[in-house]
Amino acid sequence: MTASIIESQDRGSRIEERGGPAAPLLTQSSIRLQTTAEDHHLARMAALALGLTVLEAAIPSPLPGVKPGLANIVTLIVLARYGWRAAAWVSLLRVVAGGLLLGSFMAPGFFLSLSGALWSLAALAVSQHLPQRWFGAVTHSIFAAFAHIGGQLLLVYFWLIPHVGLLYLVPIFAAAALLFGTVNGLIAAHFLDSKIYHRDTEESCLISTC
Amino acid sequence: MPYLNHIKLGDWAVMLCGALFTIWLTVTLWQGGIADKAVIRSGGKIFSEVPLSRNQLIEVPGPLGITRIAIHNLQARIASDPSPRQYCVRQGWLKQAGEIAVCLPNQVSVELSGGRKRYDSLNY
């Protein structure tokens, strides 16, 4: 992304027409980010992931930290289609914007989410090099889910609750990671394998089943 | 199941490894260890420490009356207690190290302990 200042004369003249001739213009120029089509695409995917995050926040959880992680379906699809860099963008944008939307930005919940995202991105960076013939989205999803909860537990242990009693919860988290990792991976694989999948229509395809 | 078609051979292997890993975590982290003795407390002080190897019935006096603790087959339970709500009696047999039954009204507790001290919310 490159930032540049563009004189928005045409927009200014339009305001002048509507607001009457006497109204002075408050801003002669505005800052605009020069964005590419790829940026727009990433932003759309991140927005989609964000929608799933907000949706998921409404689902009650029996134990803090046990969540389906539906937004990771989007990350997996982006990883398979556009590579790791794009997946990292989508994942981290989702974490930051999700923190802002849910009011947990810079609170412990945000850092837990960030730590989980960073660890699962690291896991994905490794697992994406596995031979595609044998390993698909389900594998990536399971690896990412385990890395996610592992990273979160490490942060919890070293920052929030430095107590060995945390170990009692690890099997529950691991079981949840396996379950949701598999389910999310299957959903992602389903979208990736569907024949109607196309770059221009994928957002609508993800929302409604194609 | 059309969804199963999306799972490749390696995915099955990863799922299996994940399941084994989870089972291993559960077995190692949730195993309380073998208990070999019961620590009986009354009024906050240790009343007696008895081995689980011998079956016996122990009577512990408290402010409300006598609490009876039964030890049988390497397990321990509160057999009877004068407490009004009988929580510790209903808890049943204690089997693993770290398990504890507390009769608060009569100030009596029995805790199983094993080779190494386990953690629980009471010794946080």
Task: Please enumerate, as own/partner, the contacts of B49-54 that have beta carbons within 8 Å and a separation of 24 or more.
Answer: B52/B76, B52/B112
Tokens of B60: 């512990």
B residues 23-62 lying closer than 8 A (beta carbon) to A: 25-26, 29-30
Distance from the Cα of B95 to chain A's closest Cα (Å) equals 18
DSSP 3-state assignment of A5?
strand
CB–CB contact B10 A139 (8 Å):
yes
- Looking at the whole model, is its pTM more than 0.80? no
Q: Does ipTM top 0.90?
A: no
| Per-residue confidence (pLDDT) for residue A1, from 0 to 100 | 46
As a whole number of angstroms, the distance between CA A144 and CA A185 comes to 10
pLDDT of residue B66: 92
Q: Compute mean pLDDT per 10 residues along chain A, 210 residues long, and list them.
A: 45 46 62 87 93 91 85 94 94 95 92 95 95 93 96 93 83 95 94 65 51
Largest separation between any pair of C-alpha atoms in chain B: 68
Contacts of B6 (CB under 8 A, 6+ apart): A136, A137, A138, A186, A189, A190, A193
| Residue contact B29–A133, C-beta within 8 A | no
- The verdict on a CB contact (< 8 Å) between A182 and B124 is no
* Half-sphere exposure at residue A202, Cβ-oriented, CA atoms within 13 angstroms: 23
Alpha-carbon gap, residue B91 to B50, rounded angstroms: 20
Per-residue pLDDT of chain B (124 residues; tens, 9 = 90+): 677 888 999 999 999 999 999 999 998 888 766 778 899 999 888 999 898 888 999 999 999 999 999 998 888 999 999 988 999 999 999 988 878 899 999 999 998 887 555 455 555 4
What number of C-beta contacts closer than 8 Å exist between A and B? 73
Which residue stretches of chain A are H helix? Answer: 9-19, 37-57, 71-82, 84-102, 108-127, 137-155, 170-193, 202-207
Q: Is A183 on the interface with B (CB under 8 A)?
A: no
The Cα A161–Cα A63 span in angstroms is: 15
- For A:100-139, CB contacts with B below 8 A are 130-131, 133-139
Among chain B residues, the shortest Cα distance to A147 is held by B18
SS (H, E, C) B9-78: HHHHHHHHHHHHHHHHHHHHHHCCCEEEEEEEEECCEEEEEEECCCCEEEEEECCCCEEEEEEECCEEEE
**φ, ψ (nearest 5 deg) of residue A60:** -70, 145
Which of B72, B32, B33 shows the shortest CA–CA distance to B51? B72
C-beta atoms of B8 and A133 within 8 A: yes
Task: List B48's β-bridge partners, or say none.
Answer: B40
Q: In whole angstroms, give the CA distance from residue A76 to residue B70.
A: 57
